[in-house]
Structure 1
């Protein structure tokens, strides 16, 4: 077997024989404007800590930087700062618009690309594009403020900042010689026709832990003298120990403190002349007194002032390690080690996907994995301390006791977590994370499993069983997909490593029992299996804000909320059946989840005005219950009506043979509860290979089930409705010409198809899901279709696309949707990537066209990327789609 050094490092980390994950890309891309740093009376986090304060104000809960790394508790950080000689401030962090500033919500206004990474972070590479002219901060703010919701966002490239190639491509590479020896190489390439000045300032600093609690030991950085041109900085921390930063022949070394510049921000005296923005003052404004002449502090930068020739490059080298008085930290061995780690990364990914993929598809997959791995961030939030305040800090506003997250005082995070987007969403989100772990499991199943277990630990999960949603509102309700993710990660891990981690599955299952009970007790107000979940991640496809009290009064029976619980029950059933094959005691709980599912499916499919299925439309809808007892189906063709498709499970005959007690209980339900069994695909009916199926949307041979799957798919696969060129849309395109309008008491509530950003401000922020393609639901739909095919076989065919006259198996339909999603990123016959839309620079310029961005969602008609531009979290699912499409192709035509 060919040796795979990266795989060996992952195994060593899992076995705790080597701590390869002590250092990684855990430094946030944005810390300002987060809830953690918010001490405002009204909870206005964006206004409380704006970008303009970030260079001068010490953070309380974390740090940020460009292309940075830190240790796994973020005690010591290393990142790149730059200055082009024209900017009004040192470029130490990525700029973007706060939520209230953007015409479509928060939005990073920089171009950076995660090009490569491996699970141990033994090799990492990213690219940052830096204009040579003054960065247009004010123009970006003013022009986006001028534009309304119906206009496109004004981006950095629209300012002309990259015209004529007058910018730098700055490549940041890291390679580990050992777990505590990290090499950093920075290469600045001038893409323009004129020589240009550039300051490169790799910056080392300690997170400020000393300002909040009296008596905390302040760490230190100090210059160590050498005679060989190498600059050395010694770093001492009471917990981390000693580290040394070496830099190859810099022009100067600058020291200051990571303390707030109180004079600039508040007009009050600072603790010392040396404050957080002291290096900025020295470099940009020439203030020599702003840095410490004794060359000690808690923040330091090594500075090179370079002249980069036209179309040329300059490179600088830095090394952070645990070796004192390192005799030769640089030289030929330095670059050779980086080349070796890059080659090992190539070998790791080649072994991961030995299937037929085109070079372009491999590029897309590699960058998707890179984005996933760069998005691992250290997340620190101790809610009790945030609510109560620090001994040495200002007291929080009195309203905080009853405000955001006040009921989550138990939550204590000091963890590495997978973030949705390292700038726009630099905090964990429970339902996002469930999708992140699917592609992550392909490269590092151990990390994926730890992520899922983390959110069920007692310092995350609420004592009542609720999982925390996300930083802005832990109480919000997201779709319950944790069990689905746990089961998928378990199966991916078992396939890749040829062993089943029963202990992991059992641990997560035990905690999810509490969460399932919370859902049943809190969200089923009628007690009949119909759920009113709230937000559920689909905030803008409905008529109302479902997290708020309805403007009409009454309540809403949710098709998607109820279906998500059907999905949850089936996944818990599947986990229980798997565990029961190792411990027969789990047969009892498997029967309980079978009963739960039957009740949910029966409630969904009840005939008349009690159910959510509407036979006249062959679709599922939410039902509004008004105070006067009227019931109004909200006949919006949206994902709300497609979510029932996701509640599908197939049980293999050998499972029933191995678990006779469970099989006996199934037979009892089939015989004694006909009113329940009629609502689902009947367990009496055998599919392909004597398989049995449970599904809300029945299909095949079961009673009352023959036509529902076919009817819904007829709508879903209609290109005039849901099926777009690049996936299944969130809202049917028919609503472009026929908006849904609900008139209640003279007030009209309206939903129309909008393929890109929504013009509605109902939900605040991006408010973005009234038509675009959304990767998580598309991925789940693909899985559901594969499950249906597993039961129904090749004989069951549907027209795809509707009206085409071409009938396909459900497996082929799933593959068709997969390829449409993949085609968002891969080049078409013209060499264009749909994700780039009409941006000519991205489409044609050789320095841009192969740097892929993985957006939050995608234009429902043309596939252009929209929303958060580095949402490799759930959009990273494209890496898994490429993997499975290539695997199914076998030796056939490579996936393009």
Structure 2
């Protein structure tokens, strides 16, 4: 007989079962997660200043001694879904001037390309239930170069690259600690934490590991709250008891014999209140005790903040491991001493991803898939912000200045969030953005469809959506306008979820979002079509500095900006809403007339793109064969802004293909559609070859007839213009040698191709749509080409690349673009990943596993990652691309 292993068999379905239990409300696996922000300082929520300068209101320097009002931050942190109790990593190398409690970076004013985190850290692994999480942080042996990073980035101009920590000597000769933090849940409220530090240098070095546990300050803002003050108390058995009126009782167990250092999560009034004799301890007590050697700054028995102080002297190559366990209940439980519990969760995570990666045969692509998924999961964050309370101030604090009554978001007093949201980047963008989140939900739907659906529903709820129907844009200005992609994301998530549910679509989800988006669509029509022409002015629409000037606030003298992208986004929105209505109409015929309404609205927008207001003038430039913004100048002159940018490619996204079987099942919609096309021939001409039918007699709805689409694709697929080795650029490279110039009203404006960081101050200069490759827009391009192919079929060929003499189907071109985008992260013939740039990866060879980053955007020439370095939010669309490639391979 075969000898049985002593190890229990791994449950391959364990993670899927946890996700299902959470979705059904049976077990709260989402009670604890990586919801702790990586930066709470410098946010609008914590800005109580007179001038509204959030970066100066609460700085990184302030953060260790001032209590936060709305949230907390930390390194590799975990917290409950109300952010009441927080657990994170803290370190000290014996040489830094402060404890390393939170990640450091330069602010928007300090960085030569805007705000930027100046640390080396990676999200290595995660599963959707948070039953297993793994994080890597690299901590130098020597003093952290705070001053050099600040001063050098302040000194540099926009034409120079950012000065990163790896450009300093902090990691020379591998003089750093590689510190991994792992969390493994034994149950929904029982969490093992394992911290392992390895000395990568050639010499011995000191390291203090100080895991922190603390309560968010909920007692210092209003009368009576102090009665509910929570507590952390050392027990005689060596554990710590955590008591909270809402959360209940938890226990913290740990191995070894660390020094227990308690303080209070309260602002230090000696520094911030003008009270030099105030009695402590305060929030910065751990820093004072460990770094400054002041034992009076802490307590040995109780408080609301705790540091477990472990000291190590690590020889070259040596490691140290500490283990903790945080769990509900009154009796202490043993830590995961032999790693069995953590090992089991790792094996279950392996099984979960093996099933998800079915068909991804290349190990390198499997690694990319899994680390992108990890970044997406780690980027969940608890987002607390009550605008009415924030504007009014708190009873126990000084009254806010009068200027705050007209502060940003003053018209969003209904907004009150206390929810877990998918963040773009938990340091650079530790607040949600509506259109970012819509893109996040597609890869999230591959991992945890119910969480993805919940996110899309959440933004349409009453405490987010404005009473007038507008969706909040982002924290810095809720009233700004993002591209209306919520309907598109909703239907795509519905389709992904339907596939996973064996063809059973979640109609309740689809209908729930649809009803709210009816209000939002009406807001767009009423508020952003200034002249009632079906031509839209959405402002910057998320594309930041792509325009000649800030399109939200045109310079004095300029008239209304008719936006090619704004109008095309609305055409896409109309088609998305029509498609959702058609899906709902298959189950409830009341939606047929609603689908007809959006069909006709699309035709009206398509007409306006070609002929605004019956004046024979549209947004298509026949001479250049491209779409441009136009300014309706005072006096009636129309001024085209001939910048060949992503603005002119957005019309590709407005495409829908209707299967004849659907028309057979929806006769009322079919009759109304045919009546409109027969009785409004000028509108029928806008729809490509409607009466002829396409592949399989399908019907096409698009802003682009065959000729215009070919003309647009000729430019887009030209390697001297938009097509880069790693996707489609946001601005034509033709503007490198021929920048666009405009002289008007005594001012000069210019747009030049910049493949990398922004050289424009517009929107703070911290993003760039003047050349780099952006993943979400490329994803929409790939999707549009595939939809066009379902209509045109294999006989419709386009030269790819332009001028190559090789013609491909639209589907094959979409495949080729997918491979270019995936190529950002895969190793080339020389073993390098383009997203890492040309510089050698210092100390990469010493990593136990290669750690990847998923940037905000990528150099239009080299593919080097740029912008926010951990924006796995929308760059996680790489998951969907890899998933699609695997399905095609099968």
TM-score bucket (shorter structure): over 0.9
Aligned-pair CA distance for 1:324? 2.6
Pick closer, same or farther for the CA change 1:842–1:439 going to 2, 3 Å. farther
1:372-402: CA deviation from partner (whole Å, max 9, x where unpaired): 0000000000000001111112222211111
**d(CA) in 2 for partners of 1:204, 1:584:** 55
Does the residue aligned with 1:102 lie in a helix, a strand or coil? coil
**d(CA) in 1 for partners of 2:324, 2:728:** 47
- Which structure 2 residues correspond to residues 573-588 of structure 1 after superposition, within 5 A? 573-588=578-593
- Which structure 2 residues correspond to residues 217-236 of structure 1 after superposition, within 5 A? 217-226=228-237, 231-236=238-243
Does the residue aligned with 2:499 lie in a helix, a strand or coil? helix
**d(CA) in 1 for partners of 2:95, 2:158:** 33
Aligned twin of 1:353: 357
**d(CA) in 2 for partners of 1:397, 1:418:** 33
Aligned twin of 1:639: 646
Aligned equivalent of 1:289, options 289, 296, 308: 296
Pick closer, same or farther for the CA change 1:672–1:512 going to 2, 3 Å. same
- Which structure 2 residues correspond to residues 798-813 of structure 1 after superposition, within 5 A? 798-813=798-813
Greater shift after overlay, 784-793 or 259-268?
A: 259-268
Contact 1:281–1:287 (CA under 8 A) maintained in structure 2: yes
Aligned twin of 1:748: 748
Aligned equivalent of 1:339, options 331, 339, 343: 343
Aligned-pair CA distance for 1:838? 2.0
Aligned equivalent of 1:444, options 421, 426, 448: 448
**d(CA) in 2 for partners of 1:96, 1:535:** 27
Aligned twin of 2:5: none
Pick closer, same or farther for the CA change 1:175–1:375 going to 2, 3 Å. same
Aligned twin of 1:599: 604
Aligned twin of 2:56: 47
**d(CA) in 2 for partners of 1:791, 1:550:** 43
- Which structure 2 residues correspond to residues 16-55 of structure 1 after superposition, within 5 A? 16-55=25-64
Contact 2:558–2:631 (CA under 8 A) maintained in structure 1: no
Aligned twin of 2:6: none
**d(CA) in 1 for partners of 2:815, 2:700:** 21
Aligned-pair CA distance for 1:142? 0.5
- Would you say 1:661 and 2:668 are equivalent positions? yes
1:781-826: CA deviation from partner (whole Å, max 9, x where unpaired): 0000000001100110100000111110101111111111111111
Aligned equivalent of 1:471, options 469, 475, 485: 475
Aligned-pair CA distance for 1:451? 0.2
Aligned twin of 1:395: 399
Aligned-pair CA distance for 1:266? 3.8
Contact 1:523–1:533 (CA under 8 A) maintained in structure 2: yes
Does the residue aligned with 1:550 lie in a helix, a strand or coil? coil
Normalised TM-score (structure 1): 0.96
Aligned equivalent of 1:409, options 403, 407, 413: 413
Pick closer, same or farther for the CA change 1:541–1:306 going to 2, 3 Å. same
**d(CA) in 2 for partners of 1:270, 1:749:** 57
In structure 1, stretches of 5+ residues that fail to align are: 700-706, 891-896
1:579-612: CA deviation from partner (whole Å, max 9, x where unpaired): 0000000001000000000000111122975200
- Would you say 1:696 and 2:703 are equivalent positions? yes
Aligned twin of 2:76: 67
Aligned equivalent of 1:376, options 377, 380, 394: 380
Aligned twin of 1:518: 523
Aligned twin of 2:110: 101
Aligned-pair CA distance for 1:128? 0.2
**d(CA) in 2 for partners of 1:58, 1:28:** 15
Aligned-pair CA distance for 1:842? 5.0
Aligned-pair CA distance for 1:848? 8.5
- Would you say 1:559 and 2:564 are equivalent positions? yes
- Which structure 2 residues correspond to residues 82-161 of structure 1 after superposition, within 5 A? 82-161=91-170
Normalised TM-score (structure 2): 0.97
**d(CA) in 2 for partners of 1:330, 1:825:** 35
In structure 2, stretches of 5+ residues that fail to align are: 1-9
Pick closer, same or farther for the CA change 1:3–1:114 going to 2, 3 Å. closer
Contact 1:201–1:304 (CA under 8 A) maintained in structure 2: yes
Aligned twin of 1:894: none
Aligned twin of 1:237: 244
Aligned twin of 2:214: 205
Aligned twin of 1:314: 320
**d(CA) in 1 for partners of 2:36, 2:547:** 37
Aligned-pair CA distance for 1:625? 1.2
Does the residue aligned with 2:711 lie in a helix, a strand or coil? helix
Aligned twin of 2:3: none
Aligned-pair CA distance for 1:268? 2.0
Contact 1:100–1:765 (CA under 8 A) maintained in structure 2: no
Does the residue aligned with 1:314 lie in a helix, a strand or coil? strand
**d(CA) in 1 for partners of 2:556, 2:178:** 52
Contact 2:239–2:332 (CA under 8 A) maintained in structure 1: no
Aligned-pair CA distance for 1:247? 1.0
Aligned-pair CA distance for 1:846? 4.3
- Would you say 1:257 and 2:229 are equivalent positions? no
Does the residue aligned with 1:416 lie in a helix, a strand or coil? strand
Aligned equivalent of 1:485, options 471, 482, 489: 489
**d(CA) in 2 for partners of 1:207, 1:572:** 42
**d(CA) in 1 for partners of 2:561, 2:829:** 47
- Would you say 1:549 and 2:554 are equivalent positions? yes
**d(CA) in 2 for partners of 1:57, 1:746:** 48
Does the residue aligned with 1:183 lie in a helix, a strand or coil? strand
Aligned-pair CA distance for 1:628? 2.1
Aligned twin of 1:538: 543
Does the residue aligned with 1:840 lie in a helix, a strand or coil? coil
**d(CA) in 1 for partners of 2:64, 2:277:** 15
**d(CA) in 1 for partners of 2:844, 2:441:** 33
**d(CA) in 2 for partners of 1:741, 1:372:** 40
Aligned-pair CA distance for 1:758? 1.8
Does the residue aligned with 1:432 lie in a helix, a strand or coil? helix
Contact 1:606–1:679 (CA under 8 A) maintained in structure 2: no
Aligned twin of 1:671: 678
1:296-318: CA deviation from partner (whole Å, max 9, x where unpaired): 10000111101112112110001
Aligned twin of 1:299: 305
Contact 2:756–2:768 (CA under 8 A) maintained in structure 1: yes
Aligned equivalent of 1:622, options 611, 629, 653: 629
**d(CA) in 1 for partners of 2:105, 2:488:** 35
**d(CA) in 1 for partners of 2:664, 2:42:** 56
Contact 1:319–1:329 (CA under 8 A) maintained in structure 2: yes
Does the residue aligned with 1:513 lie in a helix, a strand or coil? helix
**d(CA) in 1 for partners of 2:36, 2:765:** 25
Contact 2:121–2:137 (CA under 8 A) maintained in structure 1: yes
Does the residue aligned with 1:845 lie in a helix, a strand or coil? helix
Contact 2:64–2:284 (CA under 8 A) maintained in structure 1: yes
Contact 1:104–1:149 (CA under 8 A) maintained in structure 2: yes
Aligned-pair CA distance for 1:682? 4.3
Q: CA RMSD in A?
A: 1.3
Aligned twin of 1:324: 330
Aligned-pair CA distance for 1:469? 0.2
**d(CA) in 2 for partners of 1:207, 1:41:** 25
Contact 2:726–2:860 (CA under 8 A) maintained in structure 1: yes
